[in-house]
Amino acid sequence: MIVARTVQLLGFRLRQEVLEWSGSWWFLLTLVVQAVVAPLNGLFVWSAVYPDDPAIGRYYVAIILVTLMTESFEQHTFSERIYDGTISHELLRPQPVVIGVLGTNLAIRAWLTALGAPVVLLAGFSLSAGFGWWPVLLSLPSVALAAVLVFLWTFLLSMAAFWTDRVHAVVGFGSQLIFLLGGTAAPIGLLPDPWRGLAGASPFWGMNGLPAEIAAGDPYDGSIAAAWGYQLFWVVVFVVAVWAVWRAGVRRYTAVGS
Amino acid sequence: MKLLRLLGASFSMSLRRSVAFRINLVFDVLLAFAGLGTAVAAVLLVFTQADTLAGWSKAESLVLIGTYQLITALRGTFIDPNLSWFPETGVRNGKLDGYLLQPASSLFLASLSLSSPLALIQLVPGLGVLGWGIVSAERPPSVAGLLGWLLLVAAALVVTWALSVLLACLAFWASKLQLDVFYHSAWQLGRYPTDIFSRPLRLLLTYVFPMALIASVPSATLLRGPRWEVMVGGVAAAGFAALLAVTAWSAGLRRYTGATS
């Protein structure tokens, strides 16, 4: 009953946000550019190093798509509401605050994926990056888990707004970790030891690189179940962390303005 | 001279405002080092797999990152606090009306009167990486190379300012058009040698959105020595960009009728 109601509320919120963002398509296009620049840089750099390796192109085309589908902006959509106090309205509503945050997140991702699809297709055709249907299908659950991981990670860092007004610096630092250890700066197979081991065990690989590797068909050579298990483990860790920080943050927020 | 005094006074006021929030200083220091550390790490990763990146050695790439960071820090200190989100903060909120009533150049007031001194912290690690690149180079830069680098960095700063002004000027014709995210994203392309990009993108980044002039050209000049055609081209590009910015600003002001009209 609670789950059905939550899903219904999320559906309403998602529809509302999709419609609201439809008026800002020009701004959404600039967000697409923002999302694809780092993977494109990686693509150009590694294509210059390995000009004859088609796997590089295929991997980075997948990274671009995964990035578009998992982008999160809670430092803008959520933290700003803490700063201007409008989160109080959400706290008074008979529904979890996270539903609004999640609805906005999903709406922006849907728009970014739709508007960024031509970039992905263009990159794919120009690099002659062929994908197999089976690896792409297998990667879908991994992409979904990556989307959950990126949301939880960004939401977790965005809650720093309860304590500091430098939330953009905090989230920016988190994004740099994803860039470096998540497989965007370089496929983690190209990292030197011990960084390769560290990246492979960190949650960041599961946010970008792992689903891209599965979709590209290589170089991931483990079992799919192990990949999903690794991502699920980090989802559970982040859910617990988000829950704990949210409780502490809301207790802190009650003091603001009182 | 009057404009320089105004710049000094506004920097002094901004500095006093900024140091009142010391915890922000800690965050900015951490982010400056983390951001540059990520950029350097991404390039060093390449050199674990190859000796050169599109013809650029490790030392040259480090000089490029240091130069890029230097210009990004100066942009973040003197230009961004004024022109970021200009359609919203400058035009729709009416701040420009205030500038137009003051006895100084409106272009100067709108583009350089505010500053963010804490962003200058990025200079420290940037200069460190620049020094690292110079020390790692096979041979030290010549005096001519150093002078050429200084001249081209100055030209790059003028181009950076002009690009920001041109972007802000769009607000006079399309006040809802926000291209700041696009501009800051495209800026990231300057972090790597333009030689890694495909030919159409390289031409775009050289002649239309001249990111090549921001870091690649000055860095190549520092370590490989100056070439007169590059120096003349860089100075001419800066002059042309500044002229274009001033012209666009004047044309925009003629069209502007006030925030509430």
Question: Max Cα separation, chain B?
Answer: 62
The whole-model pTM stands at 0.86
Structure tokens at A95: 């529904």
Query: What does the alpha-carbon distance between residue B82 and residue B61 come to, in Å, rounded to a whole number?
Result: 31
* Sequence-ordered list of residues with C-beta below 8 angstroms from that of A165, at least 6 positions apart, any chain: A83, B24
The domain locations on chain A are 2-253
Of A30, A37, A48, the CB nearest to B188: A37
Give CA–CA dist B87/A40, Å, rounded.
29
- Which residue among A45, A48, A164 sits closest to B23, beta carbon to beta carbon? A164
Q: Are B181 and A31 in contact (CB under 8 A)?
A: yes
Walk along chain A (258 residues) and give the pLDDT tens digit of each residue. Answer: 778 888 888 899 889 989 988 888 888 888 999 899 999 999 999 999 988 888 898 999 999 999 999 999 999 999 988 988 888 888 888 888 899 999 999 999 999 999 999 988 988 888 887 888 888 999 999 999 999 999 999 999 999 999 888 898 899 989 999 999 999 999 998 898 888 999 999 999 999 999 999 998 876 677 888 999 999 999 999 999 999 999 999 988 875 554
Tell me if B28 and A186 make a contact (CB, 8 A cut-off).
no
Establish if B174 touches chain A: CB-CB under 8 angstroms.
Answer: no
- Measured CA to CA in angstroms, residue B99 lies from A229, B12, B249, B258 at distances of 59, 19, 13, 11
Q: Distance between terminal CA atoms of chain B?
A: 35
Q: How far is B128 from chain A (nearest CA, A)?
A: 20
Between CA B119 and CA B125 the distance in angstroms is: 12
The H or E element spanning position A184 is none
Q: Check CB contact of B150 with chain A, cutoff 8 Å.
A: no
B28/A37 CB distance under 8 A: no
Under DSSP, is residue B53 helix (H, G, I), strand (E, B) or coil? strand
Task: Give how far Cα A64 sits from Cα of A35, A212, B45, Å.
Answer: 8, 9, 20
Nearest to B45 among A30, A169, A186 (CB): A186
Taking CB atoms and an 8 Å cutoff, what residues of chain B touch A172? 31, 34-35
Residues in chain B: 261
How far is it, in rounded angstroms, from Cα A71 to Cα A150? 7
For residue A92, the distance in angstroms to the closest alpha carbon of chain B comes to 31
CB < 8 Å to A41, chain B? 188-189, 191-192
Cα angle for residues A183, A72, A54 (degrees, 5° grid): 30
Task: Choose among A38, A164, A176: nearest Cβ to B34.
Answer: A176
